[in-house]
Each structure stands twice: as C-alpha cells, then as structure tokens.
Amino acid sequence: MFSLISTILFYSFLVYCVLSFIKKNKKRTKNDPPMPSFNLPFLGSTYRFESSVVQSLLKFTKQYGKVNALWVGDLYTLNVADAVYIKEIWTKHIDNFIDRPNTKILAALSDDHTGLIGSGGKEWNRNKELIGGYFSSLKLKSQLPRISELCMQTIDKLTKQPNTPINPRGVFREYSMDVNTGLILSLEPSQMNKQYREMEGRFDRFLHGNSPASLFYCIDILSILFSYKFTDARKQRQYLIDYVKSIYDDHVSTLDPEKPRDLMDKMIMEEGDEMSIINTVIDFYLGGVDTTALVLQLFFLSVTNNEGVQDKVYEELKSLASKRQSELGLDSTTEPYQFTFADRLETPYLNAVIKESLRIYPPTPNSILRECNQDIMVGDYFIRKGAMVIQNIWAVHHDEDYYPEPNKFIPERFLEDNHASHYFPFGIGGRSCPGSNVADITLFLLCANLLSRFKIKSEDGGSNIKCDIKDGIMLHLSPFKVLFDQR
C-alpha cells in the first residue's frame, strides 16, 4: 500500500514538473516580451538570480531588453525598465494595472486588501477619495511651521553630543514618525506614550520581516508549506489595527466637523468605512515613515562619501543665509539663519544633490508589484491577464541612455537637465507615493539646516562611510555612525 502511494505521488510530481516546465517555456503570442529560453519548474527564471534581486533584474534588462518577461517561481512577471513603457502602463492604462497581486501573503499583510497599499479597484479609488489631496503642496503649506519646528528639534538630538559618533537612523525615524503623526493623527510628541513608541518597533518589524516578494510565497507548493507565515503576518497586522482603532474611537468621540484636526478627522467626515480608515492610517506609517528615514540616511551617506559635495552645498547655503539675514535685518553673528521650504527656490545645487541621491538610490527600487487585469497590447508587447508587473525604477535610474556614468554621483547632471521624463524616485502614475510631498519637505528642511551648521564625517573622522546596502521592497542599510563637525 505504501509503495503504491509513493508511486502515485512520484508520478504526480513528475507530471506536475513536466506541465510546469512546458507552461514556463511556451510563448503565448508572437508579441510576448522576450524572456529566458529555459525556465525551471518551481523556480522559473530565479535560478539565474544573484544575491541582489535589483542587480539580477538589471542584468535581465541588459540581456533581454528594457521590457522583458520572467518567471518568479510560479508567477509570470513583466520587468519594465523603459521610461516610455512605464508611463504607458502606469498612467495611460492605469485602469488595467490598478490592482495589487491577489496573493495570500499580500492579503495577510494588507488585512485582505483594505487600506491604501494593498487595495485595488473600487476599494482603492474610495480610499483615494477619502484622502482627497490632503498631502498636496497647497494643503501642506499650513503645516510648514510645525514641520520646521520638528526639524530643528531633530538637529538638536543629532548634535547634542559633539564629536560623539551617532547612528542617525533612529533619530531620522523619530523625526519622520513625529511629522506623520502630527499630520495624520494630530498628536504632539509629548502626547506619544510608551505604547506609541513601542509601535515604532512594531512597524519596523512588520515592514522588514514580511516581504511579499519572497520566493517562499511565489512558488505554489512552498506557499502551502509556509502558510503559517500568513497567520503570523495577520497577527502582526491585527496588533497595529487594535492600536490605531483606539485612536480612531477617540477621534470619533471628539470630532468637531467645523474644525477637522487631521487626516483621520477628514476621512471620518467623508464617511469612510472604519476598517478602511484604520488600515489607510497604518499604510501611511508603513509606506511613509520608513521611506523618509531611509531617504535621509541615503542622502547623508551620499554627501559624506563624495568628496567636495558638502562644501559646495555649504557655500551655496552660506551665501543664501547671508542674503536672507541682510534682507530681514538679522544679526548673523548671534543666531544661524533657519532655512524655510520657500528657500528651495534659491538652492539649485542642494536640490540637485537631493535629486542625485534619490536617482542613484531610489528607496523602493522596483516599486510594489501590480497585476494586469485583462489581456492587453501596450506598444509592441502583449501583456497577459494575471501578469505581475514590475516598475523597475532602479534600472531606469541607472540606464546609460538616460544618465551617462550612472553609477557615479554627479549632482551637476540635474543642473543642466531636470530629467523629468525618466526620473521618478517615488514611482509614477495614480498610485505613486501619496506622501512624496511630505518627504520632499522633511528632506529639504533637515538637509539645508543641518548642512549649513555642520559637516558630516564618518565615524573615524574621514569621508568614507562603510555601509552595506541590501535590496528588497525597500533598500535596507547596515548600521553606520557619523560625526557632526560644527562649521
């Protein structure tokens, strides 16, 4: 009996492998995007991956073209690294590519596709209506004084111990967390209790401990074997839901329709569904807090490791500060000038350095996957229903056709050309990062006010920070410390 069962299982497995092999190596139409000619059962094209997914996809782009297909486990996937096709797919045909993949792990991570990151179709459009331009540049103007205040508090934290190496990540995360909390929940740092601070760690663990792109979740059989991870992800999400629900209940009971305090009040007034509001708030934290903190780390890594950049930024800021102090009748010897977001109009070199940092290190190098809802022809290529689609920002930002010497840090390239047609560090289209304006403000204010006062050095006092950068949904940096040398 045991022998019979073993035989049946063996031949069933063999048939599965044969069918899987045929499926993954057969073209559907003559317009299918080019892909590797040999794809394995289970693994698909991933047996050719190196340790870095970003570099592997870049290699595929160079070998098969800027629009190519591959099998990530059992998922047919389109790797789009052409700026023209990215705009076609993510803007012109957005309705056909609006959804996230309907995978078990993404459902677990997004509370069954509610909120902002994991939802699709009508659910996503409704969530977008609830937000309603709350983070537009115009709406954020009233928040600039508060963000500036938090910026200066952050600089004090970073520099309160001169000549002492500090890991800036925690301070950057706190800065980003405080800015977002003020905008979304109107809580001041003094109101943030122990449970709130514990949430910072939980957001961090949830984000970095659950990657929906993991091969475990892309191979059908393995996703069954590792189904316990779905349960664990749901438990982690539920803890976040329970915490934010307590804040939601308080907002409902204290709501004044004449004086909405924050984004949560606005969504409640728009009669949003309770769970959609709660999960949208969670997604803003998951997508916004870590992204801004990461962008700040990458900026300071870039300016420290590229000799001369900081000094050029400092001279530009010093000149503008002197001009502003003269215009305002301020004494430059008593108090350093505090830069405002309006000053960005007169800091072309700093703006170029920020852009170059985001070009060479886009925080979400392959964005978050989308799913093709219906068969469609886009340009020369047929994209099949159910295909996973990657917006390969990293490949575009490192394309020699767009950026000569793409691996070199050259801020001057943005002084000559804004590269608008092929520069999108926060994604592109209707589902691009909704908090990008907040990131722009927090980044400029901290960079301008910090670099005008201090020179950043590596832990040993030099100009070379040693840091490993690993990729995933977001880039992840190994810990590093810096010194702040007062100007």
Kindly list the structural domains of the chain, giving each domain's residue range(s) and its CATH number in brackets, ordered by start: 105-363+414-486 (1.10.630.10)
Annotated binding site: 433
Specify the DSSP class assigned to residue 392.
-
Q: What is the mean pLDDT of the chain?
A: 86
Please, which pLDDT band fits residue 190 given cuts at 50, 70 and 90?
low
Q: Specify binding-site residues for heme.
A: 433
Q: What's the token pair of residue 55? A: 């570099």
If you average pLDDT over residues 374-382, what whole number do you get?
A: 96
Most confident of 125-129, 183-187, 300-304, 434-438: 300-304
pLDDT classification of 209: cutoffs 50, 70, 90: low
Structure-block tokens of residue 421: 């047609």
CA angle 110, 83, 413 (to 5 degrees): 110
Helix axes 436-451, 290-305, angle to 10 degrees: 40
| Tokens 């591959």 -> residue | 70
442-473 pLDDT tens trace: 999 999 999 999 899 888 877 788 888 888 78
The answer, yes or no, to whether residue 362 has pLDDT greater than 80, is yes
212 pLDDT higher than 60:
no
Q: What is the DSSP letter of 67?
A: E
**pTM for this structure?**
0.91
Residue at token pair 């964005």: 367
| Distance, CA of 44 to CA of 25 (rounded, Å) | 9
Is the pLDDT confidence value at 195 over 70?
Answer: no
Residue 315 has pLDDT above 70, yes or no: yes
- Give the pLDDT band of residue 12 (cuts 50, 70, 90): confident
